[in-house]
Amino acid sequence: MHRILRHALVMTFDVRRVICQSPRPELNAGKETMNPLNALAATDPDLVTMIAAEEARQFYTAKLIPSENYASCAVMEATGTVLTNKYSEGYAFKRYYEGQQFIDQIETLAIERAKSLFGAEHVNVQPYSGSPANLAVYTGLIPRDAANQRILGLGLPAGGHLTHGWKVSATSRFFQAAQYGVDPTTHLLDFDAIRAQALEFNPAILICGATAYPRVIDFARFAEIAQECGALLVADMAHIAGLVAGGVHPSPVPHADAVTTTTHKTLRGPRGGMILCKQQHAATIDRAVFPGLQGGPHNHTTAGIAVALKEAATHEFRMYAHQIVANSRALAEVLQAEGLPLATGGTDNHLILFDATALGATGKQASKAMDQAGLEANFNSIPFDRRSPFDPSGVRIGTPSLTSRGLKEAEMAHIGKWIADAIRGREDANVLARVRGEVFDLMAQFVPPGFVRPYPERP
Ligand SMILES: *Cc1c(COP(=O)(O)O)cnc(C)c1O
């Protein structure tokens, strides 16, 4: 029952006893199981109960949220170490505290791995997450006294991120922000329109990248537009970093002045952020992160990032990235066959945005029904949605997590059918319970990374 203790304590006492389970159950037979350790239970049993419940939830539900994933045991062990005890303001070999010899090695290792994996000239691994990374880049690239403080990014309703200048984000408070959209009929980025708007608005920074865009992003085309209007190009690859690392999405790195990313989405690391940039921007961007916006880096997270980057450089990870897209395409086909229209008519990446109203449900009703049926997703505006963002027409799903568990195209057929069943049967408790049972049965056969025996009891 106190499964969490393995992660909480293992690293202090018995690192070698953690056995990472393969997502393929047949490979796990006979492997040693972990001894639950009890420090957290002794200190805070209430918390342990809550974490154990969350573990069971994550184990048995089909996690379809495209921005989530399952970090490996190795990543989680790294994040649960004594590295959390250390202050390291500054950068390697230029710190404001003593005792940095090992921290410097760890941060340098993470940086070197990121540079080599993505072919970047300069990397900063200190941003606390994706949003702070974006603010740091804008702050670094736009001098305080510059006449031009304008940023132009994809609007939230069209699939952009809050931090691309959306009105409730601080990025629109500190900079003059405008937003481009997508084509009203194809839902695709319309580069002629973006070019025209960029030439008219004349931004200091053109931002590309998205949080709900199911197609390949043409970073080279964005670079041309940025160059033509004299803007710097920032590419936010938070959602697709793992696809870029795995070679199934073109890289923004050669095209953009700076690339930001989270580390916990398709890249499958701990929660964190990174900035990759051209050498000419290295100093200003580093200064914007620290001391501009942040204090001490989260060294335990940096270590987890280093592990994730090592994992992402393997052949297995390339296969993983390919399978994410293969699964996404397979799932998209099933959903369409079930009568659910997809934004842009399909997918090229890990993400699918479907219009639930075709089955008579709002996005909120659909995602609620799916949740009751063990299918975890989030409601989302579709481009040119007539409904409010609080109860939009769409549901956003994706395949990174299920693919991490080892599910393939054959299982996507079930998942797609269950999604449609849950939405159609949203008012029928029997249907929702039946689907939930089937989802849990299937999930129990595909152990996620990061879970070791004994597995959680079925909730
Ligand atoms: C997730 C995401 C972010 C923000 O990341 P947080 O870690 O949640 O701050 C930024 N940009 C894009 C495109 C994202 O998808």
CB of 266 shorter than 6 A to ligand 1: no
CATH of the domain at 111: 3.40.640.10
Specify the residue with its C-alpha closest to ligand 1, atom 4.
Answer: 130
Specify the residue with its C-alpha closest to ligand 1, atom 6.
Answer: 130
Output the six-digit token pair for 26: 């047949």
Which of the residues 86, 115, 195, 271 is marked catalytic?
271
* Domain-terminating residue out of 270, 285, 312: 312
CB of 380 shorter than 6 A to ligand 1: no
Domain assignment of residue 42, yes or no: no
CB of 160 shorter than 6 A to ligand 1: no
Domain hosting 104: range is 82-312
Residues 173 and 271 in one domain: yes
Per-residue pLDDT, averaged over 200-207, amounts to 98
Q: Which residue has the higher pLDDT, 6 or 219?
A: 219
> What's the whole-number average pLDDT of the chain?
92
Residue 87 annotated in active site: yes
Residue 89 annotated in active site: yes
Residue-wise pLDDT for 227-267, tens only, equals: 999 999 999 999 999 999 999 999 999 999 999 999 999 99
pLDDT bin (cut points 50, 70, 90) of residue 43 is confident
Which of the residues 107, 236, 355, 376 is marked catalytic?
236
**Separation of alpha carbons 37 and 69, rounded Å:** 25
**Nearest in space to 451 (alpha carbons), one of 406, 417, 384, 387:** 406
Residues 308 and 329 in one domain: no
For the chain, the domain total comes to: 2
* Residue-level pLDDT at 31: 45
CB of 131 shorter than 6 A to ligand 1: yes
* Residue-level pLDDT at 38: 61
Residues 94 and 232 in one domain: yes
CB of 225 shorter than 6 A to ligand 1: no
Domain assignment of residue 439, yes or no: yes
Per-residue pLDDT, averaged over 374-382, amounts to 96
pTM for the model stands at: 0.92
Specify the residue with its C-alpha closest to ligand 1, atom 3.
Answer: 130
Q: What are the CA-CA distances from residue 210 to residues 236, 364, 419 (Å)?
A: 7, 21, 24
Residue-wise pLDDT for 282-320, tens only, equals: 999 999 999 999 999 999 999 999 999 999 999 999 999
Among 2-16, 47-61, 101-115, 129-143, the minimum mean pLDDT is found in 2-16
Pocket test for ligand 1, best of 211, 259, 396 (most atoms within 8 A of CB): 211
Residues 307 and 407 in one domain: no
* Residue-level pLDDT at 30: 45
Instruction: Convert 441-456 to b/e letters by CB count within 10 Å (16 or more is b).
Output: ebbeebbbbbbbeebb
Instruction: Give the distance (Å) from ligand 1 centre to CA of residue 424.
Output: 32
Residues 285 and 348 in one domain: no
Among 12-16, 60-64, 197-201, 373-377, the minimum mean pLDDT is found in 12-16
Residue 271 annotated in active site: yes
Residue 183 annotated in active site: no
Domain assignment of residue 50, yes or no: no
Residues 277 and 414 in one domain: no
Residues 305 and 398 in one domain: no
Residues 281 and 151 in one domain: yes
CB 452 within 8 A of CB 35: no
Domain assignment of residue 209, yes or no: yes
* Residue-level pLDDT at 13: 33
**Separation of alpha carbons 405 and 445, rounded Å:** 9
Domain assignment of residue 59, yes or no: no
* Residue-level pLDDT at 440: 98
pLDDT bin (cut points 50, 70, 90) of residue 278 is very high
CB of 124 shorter than 6 A to ligand 1: no
Instruction: Give the distance (Å) from ligand 1 centre to CA of residue 273.
Output: 9
Q: What is the CA radius of gyration of the chain?
A: 22
* Domain-terminating residue out of 312, 338, 371: 312
Is the pLDDT at 22 greater than 50, yes or no? no
Residues 219 and 145 in one domain: yes
* Residue-level pLDDT at 389: 87
Residues 355 and 439 in one domain: yes
Output the six-digit token pair for 360: 């008579």
Instruction: Give the distance (Å) from ligand 1 centre to CA of residue 351.
Output: 15
Instruction: Convert 399-434 to b/e letters by CB count within 10 Å (16 or more is b).
Output: bbbbbbbbbeeebbebbbbbbbbbbbbbeeeebbeb
**Separation of alpha carbons 27 and 153, rounded Å:** 46
The CB density around residue 384, as the number of other CB atoms within 10 Å, is 15
Domain assignment of residue 54, yes or no: no
* Domain-terminating residue out of 282, 312, 342: 312
CB of 294 shorter than 6 A to ligand 1: no
* Residue-level pLDDT at 40: 80
CB of 129 shorter than 6 A to ligand 1: yes
CB of 211 shorter than 6 A to ligand 1: yes
Is the pLDDT at 109 greater than 60, yes or no? yes
Pocket test for ligand 1, best of 234, 236, 271, 293 (most atoms within 8 A of CB): 236
CB 348 within 8 A of CB 213: no
CB of 153 shorter than 6 A to ligand 1: no
Amino acid occupying residue 406: G
Q: Which atom of ligand 1 is nearest to the CA of 164?
A: 11
Residues 254 and 354 in one domain: no
Domain assignment of residue 158, yes or no: yes
* Residue-level pLDDT at 29: 47
Domain assignment of residue 45, yes or no: no
CATH of the domain at 417: 3.90.1150.10
Output the six-digit token pair for 33: 């199981």
Instruction: Give the distance (Å) from ligand 1 centre to CA of residue 429.
Output: 35
Which residues are bridge partners to 151 per DSSP?
177, 205
Residues 343 and 196 in one domain: no
CB of 236 shorter than 6 A to ligand 1: yes
Pocket test for ligand 1, best of 211, 236, 262 (most atoms within 8 A of CB): 262
The CB density around residue 29, as the number of other CB atoms within 10 Å, is 6
CB of 275 shorter than 6 A to ligand 1: no
Q: Which atom of ligand 1 is nearest to the CA of 272?
A: 7
